[in-house]
Amino acid sequence: MKKQSIYSLIVGFLVLFVLYHLAEYMIMFRNSAPGFLLMQALFFVAAYLIARWQFGKGLAVWGLLKNKNLVKQILVGLCVGATIYGVTFYLSILSGAEHVVQVLDTSSILKSYGLFVFGNFFSSFSEDILTRGYVFSHANQKMNEYIIILLSATIYLFNHIYRLDDGWETYTYLFLLGILLVIPLVKTGQIWTTGCIHWAGNCTFYFTHEVIKSSPGNGIISPNMILSGVMIIFIYVFYFFFKKFQRWLSVIHYQV
């Protein structure tokens, strides 16, 4: 890389990183939905401008492309995201890692759940652009795909700056989730499937822990360990699924 390209790479990443975490700060520590949405809006504006600066193109650079497979990409992502967290919750209850203590009346939390679903759409896709789309766009055809996957997963792990004191179980499932989420992007060149897995997974987790209230069980296996096991299985299945059905979901052509 030339010095100018390294400079633009670092500056672009730092700008997006700061805007993403300002949005997180607004919602986590200020409980300010307007502040969160403003920072998210600025993130996407910055993502567009950085893409124009670095590549001469718009948000499509980060994988947000309109294409003939868009509906399939979105549906696959939504189904997989809901399945991963739904299966994890079911296994946690079945194994005694968690116990259901209360099921809330959905009408009483419908507004808050709707706001979460709406806001999390933007935070899921902005994080995916930051930790996956940005990495892939700069590293594609320069690095081996396995290195790209591991690099993206590592950045995703350390992007959770508020969770770095949570211990090895959290590190493990975040790293595995980072691997899982970047596979569709690496294999197909689009980020819609990744973003929808991320979004649907977060929404499913919220539903299974805020609408359905649970408490930790007494089992030797924790919910995070179960989630990590589910992730490993899905990583294996996902890699070969996207290798086999690459053209069905792809926006770029590979030699197969």
> What kind and span of H or E run contains 214?
strand 212-216
120 contacts 38 by C-beta, under 8 angstroms: no
Residue 25, pLDDT > 80, answer yes
pLDDT band at 254 (very low <50, low <70, confident <90, very high): very low
**Backbone torsions φ then ψ of 68, nearest 5 degrees:** -70, -20
Tens-digit pLDDT profile for residues 64-107:
988 888 999 999 999 999 999 999 999 999 999 999 988 887 77
- Quote the mean pLDDT of the chain: 90
Q: What average pLDDT does range 51-56 have in this prediction?
A: 94
Alpha carbon distances (Å) from 240 to 73, 183, 246:
16, 10, 9
Q: For residues 89 and 70, what is the distance between their CA atoms, to the nearest angstrom?
A: 29
The pLDDT value recorded for residue 180 is 96
Q: What average pLDDT does range 6-20 have in this prediction?
A: 96
190 contacts 73 by C-beta, under 8 angstroms: yes
What does 157-203 look like in DSSP terms, one character per residue?
HHH-GGGTTS-HHHHHHHHHHHHHHHHHHHHHS-SHHHHHHHHHHHH
Residue that wins the pLDDT comparison between 214 and 49: 49
The pLDDT value recorded for residue 1 is 42
- Express as a percent the part of the chain with pLDDT over 70: 93
CA proximity to 180, closest of 234, 241, 230, 139 = 234
The pLDDT value recorded for residue 253 is 40
The pLDDT value recorded for residue 2 is 44
pLDDT band at 46 (very low <50, low <70, confident <90, very high): very high
Q: What average pLDDT does range 45-64 have in this prediction?
A: 96
232 contacts 177 by C-beta, under 8 angstroms: no
Assign 77 to helix, strand or coil: helix
Q: Is the entire prediction scored with pTM above 0.85? A: yes
What length is written for the chain? 256
pLDDT band at 59 (very low <50, low <70, confident <90, very high): very high
pLDDT band at 184 (very low <50, low <70, confident <90, very high): very high
Assign 98 to helix, strand or coil: strand
Tens-digit pLDDT profile for residues 202-244:
999 999 988 888 888 877 899 999 999 999 999 999 888 877 7
